[in-house]
Protein backbone atom coordinates (compact mmCIF):
# COMPACT_ATOMS: atom_id res chain seq x y z
CA UNK A 1 0.00 0.00 0.00
CA UNK A 2 1.25 3.48 -0.84
CA UNK A 3 1.19 6.30 1.67
CA UNK A 4 1.47 10.00 0.91
CA UNK A 5 2.19 12.52 3.64
CA UNK A 6 1.50 16.20 2.97
CA UNK A 7 3.33 18.54 5.34
CA UNK A 8 2.38 22.14 6.05
CA UNK A 9 5.40 23.58 7.82
CA UNK A 10 8.85 25.09 7.60
CA UNK A 11 11.70 23.49 5.66
CA UNK A 12 13.25 22.49 9.01
CA UNK A 13 10.01 20.78 10.12
CA UNK A 14 9.88 18.97 6.74
CA UNK A 15 13.50 17.76 7.11
CA UNK A 16 12.79 16.48 10.65
CA UNK A 17 9.94 14.31 9.36
CA UNK A 18 12.09 12.95 6.53
CA UNK A 19 14.88 12.19 9.01
CA UNK A 20 12.40 10.41 11.30
CA UNK A 21 11.71 7.79 8.62
CA UNK A 22 15.41 7.04 8.26
CA UNK A 23 16.08 3.59 6.84
CA UNK A 24 12.98 3.54 4.64
CA UNK A 25 12.90 4.30 0.94
CA UNK A 26 11.17 7.66 0.69
CA UNK A 27 10.39 9.90 -2.26
CA UNK A 28 10.21 13.59 -1.37
CA UNK A 29 8.87 16.70 -3.06
CA UNK A 30 8.68 20.32 -1.92
CA UNK A 31 6.31 22.81 -3.57
CA UNK A 32 7.43 25.46 -1.08
CA UNK A 33 5.31 28.29 0.22
CA UNK A 34 5.33 30.33 -3.01
CA UNK A 35 3.46 27.83 -5.17
CA UNK A 36 -0.27 28.35 -4.62
CA UNK A 37 -3.74 27.62 -5.95
CA UNK A 38 -4.29 25.78 -9.22
CA UNK A 39 -0.56 25.73 -10.03
CA UNK A 40 0.16 23.97 -6.75
CA UNK A 41 -2.70 21.52 -7.26
CA UNK A 42 -1.40 20.68 -10.75
CA UNK A 43 2.15 20.09 -9.45
CA UNK A 44 0.91 17.94 -6.58
CA UNK A 45 -1.42 15.94 -8.83
CA UNK A 46 1.40 15.23 -11.27
CA UNK A 47 3.75 14.20 -8.45
CA UNK A 48 1.15 11.87 -6.88
CA UNK A 49 0.31 10.36 -10.27
CA UNK A 50 3.99 9.66 -11.01
CA UNK A 51 4.48 8.21 -7.52
CA UNK A 52 1.55 5.83 -8.03
CA UNK A 53 3.41 4.28 -10.98
CA UNK A 54 6.56 3.52 -8.97
CA UNK A 55 7.48 0.71 -6.59
CA UNK A 56 8.08 3.24 -3.80
CA UNK A 57 5.64 3.11 -0.89
CA UNK A 58 6.14 6.46 0.85
CA UNK A 59 5.97 10.00 -0.55
CA UNK A 60 6.51 13.03 1.69
CA UNK A 61 5.50 16.40 0.24
CA UNK A 62 5.87 19.87 1.70
CA UNK A 63 3.12 22.16 0.41
CA UNK A 64 1.87 25.72 0.95
CA UNK A 65 -0.72 24.86 3.60
CA UNK A 66 -3.68 25.66 1.34
CA UNK A 67 -6.41 23.38 2.69
CA UNK A 68 -8.56 23.64 -0.47
CA UNK A 69 -5.72 22.26 -2.60
CA UNK A 70 -5.30 19.32 -0.23
CA UNK A 71 -9.02 18.56 -0.14
CA UNK A 72 -9.23 18.58 -3.93
CA UNK A 73 -6.15 16.39 -4.20
CA UNK A 74 -7.67 13.90 -1.74
CA UNK A 75 -10.86 13.80 -3.79
CA UNK A 76 -8.93 13.12 -7.01
CA UNK A 77 -6.36 10.56 -5.85
CA UNK A 78 -6.96 6.88 -5.08
CA UNK A 79 -3.83 6.82 -2.87
CA UNK A 80 -3.88 7.11 0.94
CA UNK A 81 -3.09 10.75 1.75
CA UNK A 82 -2.33 11.98 5.28
CA UNK A 83 -2.01 15.71 5.91
CA UNK A 84 -0.21 17.14 8.95
CA UNK A 85 0.46 20.70 10.02
CA UNK A 86 2.28 22.43 12.84
CA UNK A 87 0.10 25.52 12.32
CA UNK A 88 -2.38 25.67 15.20
CA UNK A 89 -4.98 27.34 12.96
CA UNK A 90 -4.92 24.55 10.40
CA UNK A 91 -7.58 21.89 10.04
CA UNK A 92 -4.69 19.38 9.92
CA UNK A 93 -2.88 20.52 13.08
CA UNK A 94 -1.53 17.88 15.42
CA UNK A 95 0.61 18.29 18.54
CA UNK A 96 2.99 15.41 17.84
CA UNK A 97 3.11 15.04 14.05
CA UNK A 98 6.32 13.01 13.89
CA UNK A 99 5.12 10.51 16.49
CA UNK A 100 1.73 10.26 14.81
CA UNK A 101 3.32 9.71 11.41
CA UNK A 102 5.68 7.01 12.70
CA UNK A 103 2.70 5.23 14.31
CA UNK A 104 0.84 5.36 10.98
CA UNK A 105 3.82 3.90 9.15
CA UNK A 106 4.00 1.04 11.65
CA UNK A 107 0.29 0.35 11.21
CA UNK A 108 0.67 0.24 7.41
CA UNK A 109 3.76 -1.96 7.57
CA UNK A 110 2.07 -4.44 9.88
CA UNK A 111 -1.35 -4.47 8.22
CA UNK A 112 -2.45 -7.75 6.64
CA UNK A 113 -1.88 -7.75 2.89
CA UNK A 114 -4.91 -8.20 0.62
CA UNK A 115 -5.24 -11.54 -1.09
Question: CA of 62: how far to CAs of 2, 7, 93, 109, 111, in Å?
Answer: 17, 5, 14, 23, 26
pTM of the entire structure? 0.85
Cβ 82 vs Cβ 101: under 8 Å: yes
113, pLDDT greater than 80 = no
- Cα–Cα dist 39/31, whole Å: 10
Rounded Cα distance between 55 and 11, Å, is: 26
Q: What is the pLDDT of residues 40-85, one digit of tens each?
A: 999 999 999 999 999 888 999 999 888 888 888 888 888 888 898 8
Report which secondary-structure segment, H or E, holds 50.
helix 37-52
- Domains in the chain, CATH or no CATH each: 3-110 (3.40.50)
Amino acid sequence: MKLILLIDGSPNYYRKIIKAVNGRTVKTYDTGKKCKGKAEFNKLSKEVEQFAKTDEELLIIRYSGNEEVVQELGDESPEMIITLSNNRNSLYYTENPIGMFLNLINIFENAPQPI
